[in-house]
Structure 1
Amino acid sequence: MNKFISQIFIAIFVCIMMIANTVYAQVDYETLAAKIEPPFALGDEIGPSTYQIVNLDGRVGGYAFETLPYAVIPGFSGAPINLFVTIDLQGKFIDAEILEHNEPIFVSGLDGALFHNFVEQYKGKSIFDTLVVGVPYGGKDGASSLIYLDGVTKATASVRIAHETILAASFKVAKEMLQQIPSGPPAKPNVDYNEDLDWQTLVDKGIATRQLVKNSEVQAAFKDTLWEDDDPIAADEPDEAYLDLWLVDVGPQSIARAVLSQDAYDELQGFMQISNHDEPLLVIDAGRHGLVSDTFIRNTSPDLIEAHQDGFPIALRDSDLDVELADGVPGETAMIFRTDRRLGFDPTRDWTISVKATREHGSFRPEIGNVVFEANHKTDERFFIRENIHVPTPPWLEAIQSRIVDLIILGVTLFALIWIMLGKINWLAGHRFYTPIRLSILAFVTGFIGWWGQGQLSIVTPLGVMRSVYEGQSLAFLLYDPFSLLIWLVVILSFVLWGRGLFCGWLCPFGALQEFAHHLGRLLRLPQINLPERVDAVLVYLKYPVLFGLIFMTFYNPDTADKLVEVEPFKTAITTYFMRNWYYVAYAALWLILGMFVFKSFCKYLCPLGAVMAIGGLIRGRDWIERRKACGSPCQLCKVKCNYGAIKKSGEIKYSECFQCLDCITIHDNPNQCVPLILAQKGRSL
């Protein structure tokens, strides 16, 4: 049998080495360039891991960047998720892709494709959209502007961290590169507002803005320059209009009806239904300047007109609509330009239109001269509405809301367990059905806390906390999994009251499976192996070098540490329901099989989390297991019956190895089992 046990330990070692054999590759410029799809290409690096992306004609079309320099949000391993994100000049996501992560649930756990599929949902969305992970809390409102992204079951915390990383990095890049981040929801035309208007009313109320520039003014602007004499019409007709510009925002329907023919109005409304984020701006010239040059191409940005608001450029683009003006509206040349409200344009505040006047000097390769004329405009607030500002739910609160029912059940369970352990522990240990009660609780722990709630605590969390503290990073990642965090808080409290026993004996799903394996082994009448005391005394300390080895690798080689934590079979047995590569399943199964012969062997000898619990238990404030003078000297019954070997020959409890099974309390309180009590009933003493 000892040879059989040795072979199992060898197999366990082989599985650990196979699991640890994984490394990450470095990402270079060529690799990133290959991820950019036509019609874009990766351009120059303009910042830390930040690049321009260029169109086929060489113009900048957006930006590509790694998230790591901009958003260092630790994951559950303590390491941030690094993604490669591309956005266009309007702040729309072109693509998003995971470059590197160390999220334990996806490191040879859940199919990594699920994580990548989640990130792909950002394509086509905008950084100005209100993006939320998961299903809406309290039911979905069909009129809501929120856009929901499908999460990943059993990995909600990890995808929330990725989501926050993408948004935080994208907003920082947009603020630096695009320079137009709206401070609140944009004003958009109120389709329910109607007002009877005509052209004269628009002029009288300042809804239509006019900029009249006479030929004499243009001449004055070019005076004493090379181009002073290059416009004979301006010199001959100084009082005639060079530029007679009218500017009207035709987004509001009442205004559009006053300046457009019915056909043009209908075409505009159809356009706005398709492009509902654009604000249409009607520009009319009744002079001889014109609105665009002879080389202008429809549906592109105008070459003679620019616009600015708050010192930032407003991106104008031809809407490619046929404009027919209503009767009484002056001017022959008219165009409707559009700009995206999501990029910060607010039609209700002052903005400036700039019209470029151009002259050429010379016939062969002429020199070009320009002067600019400006006009200010805004449209009254009454024509627009604004959506209520959506204040994003804090990630920690969103995580709580998404699991509120589970948290209530868990909270009631933990409260009941603590209440029993504090005041009813002797009653529970002495109950005639104590073993069925204990096994029922462990079954609930395995099913609800483990498989359903994914509340299996892991060494990954303490390692991630240590790494984050060392690197000066936030511990906010703990809030993304409130279910496990609640268990952690109770476990830390239990250190003071009982030591490691509450978690290892009652709240560990894999520990519960080990105990079920033990009972199965007894039902099958398998031989129960009790290791010699001197061997057991050595093996119980094995978990400490395993723990310290993981701590060392966390700081020395984090990537390897992320694999070595698979020394815990928790992810295989609990998180993924044994649905993993065969060697992970074999490793977890070996411990359960071994547990049928050696009582809770993994928990006693190798569990690094158990080592953390034992160290945490050093702050225990009391000896909560009652002892008698006769315990240990000469009575050894509790020591013999203790499957954990947690009782010394002296009768003293080794709380660092006590799993709170309560067997010794059952014996201590039972007058038919406790030897001192039996002898006392007979009038004898030890």
Structure 2
Amino acid sequence: MYGRMKLIWILCAALISIATLLQADALPKSALEPYVTPPMSIGDQLTEDGVWELLNSGGAVAGYVFETQNMAPLPGFSGAPINMLVVLDLDGRFLDVRLLSHNEPIFVSGLGEAPFHAFFEQYRGLSISDSLVVGTPYGGASDGSALIYLDGVTKATASIRIAHESLLAATLKVAREKMQGVSAGPPAYPDPSIDETLTWDDLDGIAHRLQVTNAEVNQAFEGTKWQNDDPVATANPDDLYLDLWVIDIGPPSVARAVLDDNALDELQAFMAIADMDEPILVIDAGRHGLITDDFIRNTAPDLISAEQSGFPIALRDADILVGLSDDAPAALQDAPALILRTDRRLGFDPTTEWTIQIKALREHGVFQPEIGSTTFETTVQSPERFYIKPTAPKQRAPWEQAILDRSADLVVLGLFLAALVTGLGLNLNRLAGAKYFTAIRLTILAFVMGFIGWWGQGQLSIATPLAIIRTATSGGSFAFLLYDPFSLLIWAIAIFGFALWGRGLFCGWLCPFGAMQEFAHHLGRILWLPTWNPSSKWDDRLKWIKYGVLALLVVMAVSAPAHLDTAIEVEPFKTAVTTFFIREWYYVVYAAGLLILSMVTFKGFCRYVCPLGAVMAIGGLIRGREWIARRAECGSPCQLCRVKCNYDAIRKDGSIQYSECFQCLDCVTIHDDPTKCVPLILQAKKQARP
């Protein structure tokens, strides 16, 4: 009956945890940034679990920022994990720990959240290599060991311990995968096909035993104030103080040899749910024992710790009633026993040597006694024949994974770009002369705004050229360009277009924010708003502003990179395209104001302010041909194309100023239309005369 009720409880807890985890998504970068104190900032995302780079004021990697719920979702009392934000430097030192979310009843409706938040403030300045313990020695005295005590919260000890274990488990996972420079790889797990009939006599090399006599304990405390505080040890120096057995019972063959039927059934029910946990049986047949009176079931043991490859192993009580098989030594049948568990996903490999430590405590004094401790340890390693250790799959290069992740988008984008370039390159005049050219153009711009902009996030930005400049001056790698293949393909086509059309291919056909401005202009005409354009003289002057903005940003990229992200906000692209206008109000007002301006002044931002447009204009200097046909009469006497050009990109003499041409094709439409082009009309009239 007990085993059945325990199984039902485990199943319920697991279902609650799974339901909670399915709803838990890693927070976006924008939600984490307020928790990182300047001059530090958050850089690129490193893993799908939500590990981010921590950057210093100079833009160099200084550590890691991550949430705990996706890497160590230990369930709290509500069944949901406690989610914390951890800021860790490259040496494994906690720069900050913040509580993000939880459902712990004691803090929701009892004590309030203030004590919970205060608890996490204690981690600042501590290291993952420190032995961190939740609790306080008797009388507030240090026990002389390497332990560092964190003050708990009265009435909430269990919730605090769960939060502490989750925090350490998640941090250790990041440390193993990032700070050692290698991933922990797939964990070894018990091979279900191995079915050996074993007895206790067959456990040589499987069971590990540590024996410590009373004399050895006295020797460990010799020279301290606690050396005479164990009269039993002094009276019986040859008796065993500690007779510790450690057995990895993950392999079914070992578990059957060690446990009785009831404990085995309970373990199997537990492992059916917690299939990534490795169960460790510990028994003490000496006088030491395994736990203190303060121990709480289903939490980390207060006297036992472990480490592997220099990192602590997060051990936790599995809360399973232990019964040993009939052929177990008689001395062990009634000895204290625990089944501990650790998550293999956090890097623990049972087939690799690891160390288990157990503390011995002594009290000195009667009132508020001072606690002293010493630690004994033994190494443990499970036979490889019981385990399967998968070969880590060969990881793709980041750029290969990026292409794979966006393969469908890249196919659609590639087809669109191929069709656009073909249409403009081979049938440009035919396209411009189409009956429904305006509708065709607006359809293309709508696709650019929707698919390339909002869906594909392919809005090019001045940030990329500036990053190239910074990388070139600092001697870094240009590999970052490969991480966004969608935008890189657009860059490639835009640069290709420089030789054929100048800046016009991107600025006129592929810029999502440019498309928004063009739609805003058409809306202004529908609303019968007046148009306002500066005189030709002022238009020429205003067009130089974008080059000044570009020059300023280039200088900042080299001399003041810490302020560059703010300066780049001169582009409204992040607000209008990346965040869908969901940002701070002043960014939204700025971007919306530029669109409103476009309703009366055609694409005013593109023409006068856009630093990316300045880059495109400079790049267009490699243009190798005059692709817009002109006639001798263009400019003198005919000025129609110049008057109709919304960009004011046609000079008085009729020639095209390609650095300001956005390839809208309006002048091409006029040039080829015998009903609009004045020279063609006059020529037709002459031919019609008798």
- The 1:610–1:388 alpha-carbon spacing in structure 2 relative to 1, beyond 3 Å, is same
Q: 2 CA distance for matches of 1:616 and 1:318?
A: 65
What is the CA-CA distance between 1:274 and the residue it aligns to? 6.5
Structure 1 match to 2:660 = 657
What is the CA-CA distance between 1:619 and the residue it aligns to? 2.2
Structure 2 match to 1:262 = 261
- Asked if the contact 1:501/1:659 (under 8 Å) is kept, the reply is yes
Greater relative contact order (CA < 8 Å, ≥ 6 in sequence): 1
Structure 1 match to 2:612 = 609
2:552 is the counterpart of 1:549: yes
3-state secondary structure, aligned to 1:515? helix
Structure 1 match to 2:497 = 494
1:338 counterpart (337, 340, 346): 340
Q: Which letter maps to 1:422? A: G
- The 1:215–1:250 alpha-carbon spacing in structure 2 relative to 1, beyond 3 Å, is same
- The 1:499–1:170 alpha-carbon spacing in structure 2 relative to 1, beyond 3 Å, is farther
Q: Which letter maps to 1:184? A: G
- Asked if the contact 1:359/1:369 (under 8 Å) is kept, the reply is yes
- Asked if the contact 1:234/1:242 (under 8 Å) is kept, the reply is no
- The 1:552–1:423 alpha-carbon spacing in structure 2 relative to 1, beyond 3 Å, is same
Q: 1 CA distance for matches of 2:233 and 2:64?
A: 59
Structure 2 match to 1:249 = 248
Q: Which runs of 5+ in 2 are unaligned?
A: 1-32, 42-50, 75-81, 89-97, 105-166
The TM-score normalised by the length of structure 2 is 0.63
Alignment of 1:125-274 (within 5 A): 174-175=175-176, 183-191=184-192, 193-203=194-204, 206-208=205-207, 247-270=246-269, 272=271
Q: 1 CA distance for matches of 2:486 and 2:653?
A: 41
Q: 2 CA distance for matches of 1:263 and 1:548?
A: 77
Alignment of 1:464-479 (within 5 A): 464-467=467-470, 469-470=472-473, 478-479=481-482
2:401 is the counterpart of 1:414: no
- The 1:302–1:406 alpha-carbon spacing in structure 2 relative to 1, beyond 3 Å, is closer
2:514 counterpart (511, 514, 518): 511
Alignment of 1:340-359 (within 5 A): 340-342=342-344, 343-351=346-354
Q: 1 CA distance for matches of 2:533 and 2:454?
A: 31
Structure 1 match to 2:5 = none
Q: 2 CA distance for matches of 1:381 and 1:198?
A: 19
State percent identity of aligned pairs.
52
- Asked if the contact 1:218/1:234 (under 8 Å) is kept, the reply is no
What is the CA-CA distance between 1:492 and the residue it aligns to? 1.8
Deviations 1:615-653 (A, max 9, x none): 221222322223345544555443344332222233332
The TM-score normalised by the length of structure 1 is 0.63
3-state secondary structure, aligned to 1:623? coil
Q: Which letter maps to 1:612? A: V
Structure 2 match to 1:95 = 84
What is the CA-CA distance between 1:351 and the residue it aligns to? 4.8
What is the CA-CA distance between 1:420 and the residue it aligns to? 1.6
- Asked if the contact 1:543/1:607 (under 8 Å) is kept, the reply is yes
Corresponding residue pairs, total: 557
- Asked if the contact 2:176/2:183 (under 8 Å) is kept, the reply is no
Q: 2 CA distance for matches of 1:527 and 1:370?
A: 86
3-state secondary structure, aligned to 2:499? helix
Structure 2 match to 1:328 = 327
Q: Which runs of 5+ in 1 are unaligned?
A: 1-23, 33-47, 50-63, 75-79, 100-116, 124-165
- The 1:456–1:279 alpha-carbon spacing in structure 2 relative to 1, beyond 3 Å, is closer
Q: 1 CA distance for matches of 2:561 and 2:572?
A: 19
Q: Which letter maps to 1:534? A: K
3-state secondary structure, aligned to 2:55? coil
3-state secondary structure, aligned to 2:664? coil
3-state secondary structure, aligned to 2:411? helix
What is the CA-CA distance between 1:502 and the residue it aligns to? 0.9
Q: 1 CA distance for matches of 2:582 and 2:211?
A: 75
Q: 2 CA distance for matches of 1:356 and 1:510?
A: 65
Structure 1 match to 2:54 = 67
Deviations 1:645-686 (A, max 9, x none): 2222333321101111223333444455555556666479xx
Structure 1 match to 2:426 = 423
Q: 2 CA distance for matches of 1:71 and 1:446?
A: 34
What is the CA-CA distance between 1:417 and the residue it aligns to? 0.8
Q: 1 CA distance for matches of 2:575 and 2:363?
A: 76
What is the CA-CA distance between 1:426 and the residue it aligns to? 2.2
- The 1:217–1:651 alpha-carbon spacing in structure 2 relative to 1, beyond 3 Å, is closer
Q: Which letter maps to 1:281? A: I
3-state secondary structure, aligned to 1:661? coil
Q: 2 CA distance for matches of 1:537 and 1:84?
A: 50
- Asked if the contact 2:463/2:568 (under 8 Å) is kept, the reply is yes
Backbone CA RMSD of aligned residues: 5.7
Q: 1 CA distance for matches of 2:71 and 2:575?
A: 44
Structure 2 match to 1:126 = none
